[in-house]
Chain A
Amino acid sequence: MDSTVATGSEENVWGGGNRPLGASYGKLMMWFFLVSDALTFSGLLAAYGFSRFKFIETWPIADQVFTHVPFVHGNFPMIYVALMTLILIISSVTMVLAVDAGHNMKKNAVIWYMFLTIIGGAIFVGSQAWEWGTFIKGDFGAVETKGGRILQFVNSETGERAAIADFASTIESERVNHEKRNGIWYYDGAELPSYSLNEVVAGFKANRSIVIRTEQILPNIEKLKASDNPKDLAKVARLEKDVANISGEGEKAILTREASESKLNDAVQVVEGANLIQNEYGSRLFADFFFFITGFHGFHVTSGVVINMIIFFNVILGTYEKRGHYEMVEKVGLYWHFVDLVWVFVFTFFYLV
């Protein structure tokens, strides 16, 4: 039954017949791997938590970052990622049904359930690729200050986000992209954004209803006012002077027009979308961790799909039918469920909390 066979030993304790965990070698090793992999993911998520607590007042709000659904226009936070979660859970179910069918030696059922699992995994990876693409492309654009902080734009009349493409004016000028072939050979200039900083600033000046939204998450102003600490009181005075939506605890601070005008003087460049260096949605670390953790998870899903396919073809060829048991299906099943398990945590910490 198991791949390791104790030959010639009597099945007693001193003859190697002791099986304290009651699981085969292969399954134990899979669990060994999964526990260590769980620790890797935990380390990454804990590092994410560290950075988030460090910048707790300026961390991006996930609802304002992931708002798109494929083929549909509009603002739908969370909907698509909830769907992805559902797809992964369902593919986990088809996997466990395949394992169950394997226990009952039903070859055709195993084939069909494995097939559905692979399809589910492929849809999930595709969705994640789409999610990455949307995040990299960005939607409204923003400017970055000297200190690396992000300033986004809001239309103060409608209260909605303003895209730089909508209000930036066009100034005729020559903008040359620095390429490797016409400069220092090892230095490649960053790609130019669609609008230069001057164009954004000119458009901002011409359009009186545009104001700036900063990264700062507003504190409870009443609680701050009641404080004895002079620093807190100074903060209250500063916020009351500059911020338009002062009572909106937990929201990002929207500046008054005057404060916006002076704040824009700090801007040094235009940022569109997110990558490992810049992030129009806020803290750069958010993008870094997003790419690293969901990328590492997506890599796991991809390899899971590949391993599932190998086992799928083995099932079709009748390998396990000849072997007399479907334990391999159970082992890849463990890996597949683990991937689902990790996603449950990634979903919580990136999208919900």
Chain B
Amino acid sequence: MAHEHKLAIFRGLLKFKSNTQKIWGVLVFLCIVTAVEVVLGIIKPEVLLHNTFLGMKLLNWIFIILTLVKAYYIAWDFMHLRDEKTALRRAIVWTPIFLVAYLVFILLFEADYVYNVYKDGFVTWNF
């Protein structure tokens, strides 16, 4: 299979000579991201714990964004989405993103409402 591989990552910032080299490069990057996550998870810097954005701790935002970054590189370089046609890539990526964003939005809002019912309503559940 004479597939052509695109060998640059970080929008062309880092170019590799061969596909194998690119794979190792991505591994190093994923390991660094995981290490950062673990270190942050152990240290838990106060600044990131006590400041929130959209009702969630900054630390959790960082974790979620780093996770999406990792997911991007796994899908793009390990699953070769970078080499697929744009149409296929978009069909694969945007379908779940749209549906999941929608579902998560609805469920988390509803859950927050239920939380408030438990908190302020006439329901005893902590006994």
The answer to whether A51 touches B74 (Cβ under 8 A) is no
Query: Bound complex: CA of A333 vs CA of B23, how far in Å?
Result: 14
Contact A325 B1 (CB under 8 A): yes
**Is B127 a contact partner of A341 (Cβ separation < 8 A)?**
no
Supposing A39-B100, A327-B1 touch, asked if A89 and B30 sit within 8 A by C-beta, the answer is yes
A21 within 8 A of B: yes
Structural contact, A103 and B1, CB atoms closer than 8 A: yes
Contact (Cβ within 8 A) A337 B74 = yes
Given contacts A23-B84, A344-B71, contact A353 B103 (CB under 8 A): no
A341 and B71 contact, Cβ closer than 8 Å, known pairs A47-B107, A89-B34, A90-B27: yes
Closest chain B residue to A30, Cβ basis: B79
State whether A21 touches B88 (Cβ < 8 A): yes
List A contacts of B41 (CB < 8 A): 63, 77-78, 351-352
Q: List A128-180 residues whose CB lies under 8 Å from chain B.
A: 145-147, 149
B1-A96 in contact (CB<8A):
no
Residues of A16-41 contacting chain B, CB below 8 A: 20-23, 28, 31, 34-35, 38-39
Give which listed residue, B74, B120, B125, contacts A340 with CB less than 8 A.
B74
Q: Which of A91-128 contact B (CB under 8 A)?
A: 92-93, 95-97, 99-100, 102-103
Contact status of A100 and B20, CB under 8 A, knowing A39-B100, A337-B79? yes
Q: When each residue 106-124 of chain B gets 1 if its CB lies under 8 Å from chain A and 0 otherwise, what string results?
A: 0110111011001110001
* Contact pick for A39, options B20, B24, B84, B96, CB 8 Å: B96
Are B88 and A22 neighbours in the complex by a CB distance under 8 Å?
yes
The reply to whether A338 and B79 form a contact with Cβ atoms under 8 Å apart is yes
- Shortest CB distance B85–A (Å): 5
Pairwise interchain contact A54-B87, C-beta atoms closer than 8 A: no
Q: Provide the residues of chain A in CB contact with B74, threshold 8 Å.
A: 92, 337, 340-341, 344
Q: How far is the CA of A63 from the CA of B74 in the complex (A)?
A: 26
Q: Determine if A72 is an interface residue (Cβ-Cβ < 8 Å).
A: no
Contact of A93 among B24, B42, B96 (CB under 8 A): B24
Choose one: A50, A78, A79; the contact of B108 (CB below 8 Å): A50
A97 partner, pick from B23, B60, B64, B87, beta carbons under 8 A = B23
Q: Are the CB atoms of A21 and B1 closer together than 8 Å?
A: no
For chains A and B in complex, what number of residue pairs have CB atoms within 8 angstroms? 147
A193 at the interface (CB under 8 A from B): no
The answer to whether A86 touches B118 (Cβ under 8 A) is: no
- A interface residue count range (under 10 / 10 to 19 / 20 to 34 / 35 or more): 35 or more
Which residues on B sit within 8 Å (CB–CB) of A42? 96, 99-100, 103-104
Closest Cβ of chain B: how far from A86's Cβ, in Å? Answer: 7
A46 contacts B by Cβ under 8 Å: yes
Residues of B within 8 A of A53 (CB): 108, 111-112, 115
Report the separation of the CA atoms of residues A90 and B87 in the bound assembly, to the nearest whole angstrom.
Answer: 30
Contact indicator B31/A353 (Cβ below 8 Å): no
Q: How far is the CB of A243 from chain B (nearest CB, A)?
A: 14
Residue of B whose beta carbon sits closest to that of A19 = B85
Q: Show 30 A/B contacts (Cβ-Cβ < 8 Å), sorted by A.
A: A1-B1, A21-B91, A22-B85, A22-B88, A23-B84, A28-B88, A35-B96, A42-B96, A46-B107, A49-B104, A50-B110, A53-B108, A56-B115, A89-B30, A92-B78, A93-B23, A93-B26, A96-B23, A100-B23, A147-B125, A147-B126, A149-B127, A220-B50, A333-B78, A337-B75, A337-B78, A341-B79, A344-B70, A344-B74, A345-B67
User: Top 8 closest A-B pairs, CB basis?
Assistant: A53-B111, A147-B127, A21-B88, A348-B67, A50-B107, A50-B111, A42-B100, A82-B38
The chain B residues found within 8 Å of chain A, CB to CB, are 1, 3, 19-20, 23-24, 26-27, 30-31, 34, 37-38, 41-42, 49-50, 60, 63-64, 67, 70-71, 74-75, 77-80, 84-85, 87-88, 91-92, 95-96, 99-100, 103-104, 107-108, 110-112, 114-115, 118-120, 124-127
Q: Other than A22-B88, A35-B95, A50-B111, give 5 A-B pairs with Cβ distance below 8 A.
A: A21-B88, A23-B84, A42-B103, A93-B27, A96-B78
